[in-house]
Amino acid sequence: MKVSALEIPITRTNQSRLPEVDFNNLPFGSVFSDHMFLADYYDGAWQDARVVPYGPLSLEPAAKVFHYGQEVFEGMKAYKDKEGQVWLFRPLENQRRLNKSASRLMIPELPEAIFMEGLKTLLRTDSDWIPTVAGSSLYIRPFLFASGNGFHASPSDRYTFVIATAPSGAYFAGEVHVRIEEKYSRAANGGVGYAKAGGNYAGQFYPTQLAKEAGFQQVIWTDDNTHEYIEEAGAMNIFVRIGDTLLTSPTSDRILDGITRKSILELAEAEGIPTEVRKISVSEIVEASKKGQLKEMFGAGTAAVVSPISGYGYRDERFDLPEVADSYATFFKKRITDIQYNRSEDPFGWRYPVS
């Protein structure tokens, strides 16, 4: 199904909320732009693509998303350079991953044309909402959910696709200390851990709160079977630097195939940084800490890009990470954000212009 920008009707808001926004003091993901993009699936096809004012969605109590959790989402950002040009970062990777998540939850896949043309139409409509303050961006949340009705446990016959946006400042601030989790699991083999399904994140909140009560900001998840191997850091992929070698866990049924993760691995290869994608045991990390060989740990994801970890706790021990002059975390964050904001060349073809 081909959808061009000219075929997407736009209903503009009567009064913009833009004058109310302090772009110098933006929280993350809680101030919303004037418009949103919608499309509906019914009668076996995606249709009715449109841009409308941002506002409540009307659903019946029997909507299946409430009862059986058919919902998946993505996280993206739009950037504006000094000349006012708007850019996306590897958006087709998000579109493909959204469909991978949708297939796992028996949600109809979304045509690329609807995703991309809807996104570009929305960004052109709300271009003034894209921040130009350093470190800020327009966070983009595409999501799919079951909007059909029924209490019977079966896939819905109707779905809704939404793209909403929020001008946002930095995701994390300050030092981040994490606890290596030994009891609770983020995901299991054969499950939906690799999908960006809302339930994956809901299940994280309780153990993360327990970690916060113990003095940590986040959790490092371990494998569901033995809890011997680290897998993710909070809602991000995790990287570990032992000596000069960069390590990260392989993707699996349990681990999200992060776009920032892919980008870091490609950058590392291009820069000749030694990299290993393999299982990383907790004991290896603890031993490296005690020997002074653990130089860095950091999370990687769309919201934070790269989030350095200052220290971690395991059982009754706590370990601080050193400050290193040649930080990989700092290097990767700068290289990626320079590409995103059009401050440098893009030899990988990751930057996508919104004309």
Average of per-residue pLDDT across 160-174: 88
pLDDT for residue 172:
65
Nearest to 230 by CA among 195, 171, 192, 178: 178
Rounded Cα distance between 29 and 119, Å, is 18
Average of per-residue pLDDT across 174-185: 94
Write the DSSP assignment of 270-304 as a string of letters: HHT--EEES-EEHHHHHHHHHTT-EEEEEEEETTT
Q: Are 205 and 186 in contact (CB under 8 A)?
A: no
% of the chain beyond a pLDDT of 70? 98
What backbone phi and psi angles, to 5 degrees, belong to 25?
-140, 65
What backbone phi and psi angles, to 5 degrees, belong to 127?
-60, -35
* CB-count exposure of residue 301 (10 Å: 0-12, 13-18, 19+): buried
pLDDT for residue 173:
64
pLDDT for residue 174:
74
Q: Is the pLDDT of residue 6 over 70?
A: no
Rounded Cα distance between 90 and 47, Å, is 25
Strand 305-308 with 137-146, pairing? unpaired
CA distances from 307 to 55, 58, 123, 300, 336 (A): 32, 37, 27, 6, 13
All domains in the chain, ordered by first residue = 5-168 (3.30.470.10), 177-340 (3.20.10.10)
Q: Is the pLDDT of residue 28 over 60?
A: yes
CA distances from 314 to 280, 291, 310 (A): 15, 16, 14
Q: Is the pLDDT of residue 4 over 50?
A: no
Q: What is the pLDDT of residues 340-352, one digit of tens each?
A: 999 999 999 999 9
Q: Is the pLDDT of residue 97 over 70?
A: yes
Average of per-residue pLDDT across 68-78: 98
Average of per-residue pLDDT across 81-91: 97
User: 3-class SS at 189?
Assistant: coil
Nearest to 180 by CA among 286, 22, 306: 286
DSSP character for 5? Answer: G
Rounded Cα distance between 160 and 263, Å, is 30
CA distances from 106 to 15, 64, 98, 240, 296 (A): 39, 12, 12, 35, 39
- What is the band of 3 on the pLDDT scale with cuts at 50, 70, 90? very low
- What is the band of 170 on the pLDDT scale with cuts at 50, 70, 90? confident
Q: Is the pLDDT of residue 258 over 80?
A: yes
User: 3-class SS at 30?
Assistant: coil
Q: Is the pLDDT of residue 284 over 50?
A: yes
Average of per-residue pLDDT across 288-301: 97
- Average pLDDT over the chain, rounded to an integer: 96
pLDDT for residue 14:
97
Q: Is the pLDDT of residue 275 over 70?
A: yes
pLDDT for residue 167:
98
pLDDT for residue 35:
98
Average of per-residue pLDDT across 43-60: 97
Rounded Cα distance between 348 and 270, Å, is 10
Q: Is the pLDDT of residue 263 over 70?
A: yes
Phi-psi region of 23 (alpha: psi -120 to 50; beta: other; left: phi over 0): alpha
pLDDT for residue 321:
97
Which stretches does DSSP call E strand in the chain?
35-42, 45-53, 71-73, 76-80, 86-89, 137-146, 159-168, 177-180, 218-222, 229-233, 236-242, 245-248, 275-277, 280-281, 294-301, 305-308, 311-314, 317-320, 351-354
For 349, the token pair is 């073809």
